[in-house]
Structure 1
Amino acid sequence: MSIERSIPELAAWYAQYDDVSYRRESPDAYHHELIRTAEALRDDGGLDWDDWLALKQLADEAHVNALQEAVQAHVNDPDT
């Protein structure tokens, strides 16, 4: 992946990506914002198609993991 991580917009994307509490609290909103931000970077010319796909894959995987964690947390403690 040839993404230049030093650009502020991409640093902001990774800050969103690394926000574990947001991911746990609202997996769907978390995923939506990651995709929206990556699309904006792509549309503004900050990312090429392959880099956008790589970010989308990271977001998709994080979303699936967050959903699995939420289900497991509910199974472990159904009262929460």
Structure 2
Amino acid sequence: MSDDLKPPDLASWQRLFEDKAYWQQSPDAHYAELLRVADDLLGQGAIDLEQWQALKAKADQSHKDSPAVNVAQEVDDPEA
């Protein structure tokens, strides 16, 4: 079985969550992918509903913060 077919695990979700370049360049796609992985984890029984809700809350907060952070970074470094 190749790595591409391996189901996600909690570490995969965390790596995705910490991918700041993806988050900054495409916050909506990043958010959707975080929710998809969390849903997959719940569906495969790797996490329970409470853990899923915690992951969703982190994703929600990150998505909510993305415009403000992106604007602040652009103001700090317009050449970035």
Q: CA deviation at 1:68?
A: 2.0
The letter for the 1-side match of 2:36 is R
| Structure 1 match to 2:38 | 38
Q: CA deviation at 1:72?
A: 4.1
| Structure 1 match to 2:4 | none
Aligned residues: 72
Q: TM-score, normalised by structure 1?
A: 0.77
Asked if 1:28 corresponds to 2:14, the answer is no
Further displaced range: 12-21 or 62-71: 62-71
Further displaced range: 29-38 or 65-74: 65-74
| Structure 1 match to 2:15 | 15
Distance 2:43 2:36 in 1: 10
- Specify every segment of 5 or more residues in structure 1 that has no aligned partner in the other structure, as ranges: 1-7
Distance 1:21 1:14 in 2: 14
Percentage of matched positions with identical amino acids: 38
- Higher relative CO (Cα under 8 Å, sequence separation at least 6) belongs to 1
